[in-house]
Amino acid sequence: MLDYVKGQIAELTPTEAVIDCVGIGFNILISLQTFEALQGKDNAKVYLYHYLREDDEQFYGFATKDERELFKLLISVSGIGVGSARMMLSSLTDEELRNAIVAEDVHKIKSVKGIGLKSAQRLILELKDKVVKGQGSAQILPLGSSNAAAEEATTALVMLGFTKANVNKVMPAILKANPSAKVEDIIKAALQKL
């Protein structure tokens, strides 16, 4: 999978960018946040999410890895597609969106075009444990592919008989206390909390 594209900005609109990388033009769909970050620059590094379906293939681009991780979390929620997630990241900054999820601010999330009450509630319910309050703003916990130790520890704990839901509830606190913990340290800390 492609992680990012780095090259000259050939075209830039509020919804898409064409990045010329060694003579190949990548047409990338972007959020308004990313547009603002790229505006006025000649060259750019855009982090990619490759969206592939039977009848559709697109690249979604982000100015930061954090924005891309938040996008992935958003589309993991049932009923939130790539279009809705991009709309959310265009309407709210990733920091505002994280803070709204942590604070369970349904009205702020619902203010995004295309997001109704049930979608906003489901988004908060499913993502609240994956997003935690950091210094001054909410941050995405290093779960998933960005933290192999946490993934391996989760798998081991599930194999020990704990449910994935219970493991996911204690994991954020463990990783917040020690983000660079080794697999065995994560498992020991989880066993004390489960």
> Which CATH fold would you assign to the domain 144-193?
Helicase, Ruva Protein; domain 3 (1.10.8)
Lowest-pLDDT choice from 31-45, 99-113, 174-188: 174-188
pLDDT in tens, 115-129: 999 999 999 888 887
The CATH architecture assigned to 65-132 reads Orthogonal Bundle (1.10)
| Beta bridge partners of residue 29, listed in sequence order | 16, 60
Amino acid at 1: M
Listed residue (79, 131, 88) closest to 109, CA to CA = 88
pLDDT at 132: 58
Q: Are 105 and 112 in contact (CB under 8 A)?
A: no
Q: Are 61 and 5 in contact (CB under 8 A)?
A: yes
Reported residue count of the chain is 194
> Which CATH fold would you assign to the domain 4-62?
OB fold (Dihydrolipoamide Acetyltransferase, E2P) (2.40.50)
Lowest-pLDDT choice from 113-117, 130-134, 144-148: 144-148
In the predicted model, is pLDDT for residue 102 greater than 90?
Answer: no
**Distance between CA atoms of residues 47 and 61, nearest Å:** 5
Domain ranges of the chain: 4-62, 65-132, 144-193
**Distance between CA atoms of residues 141 and 152, nearest Å:** 15
pTM, two decimals, is: 0.67
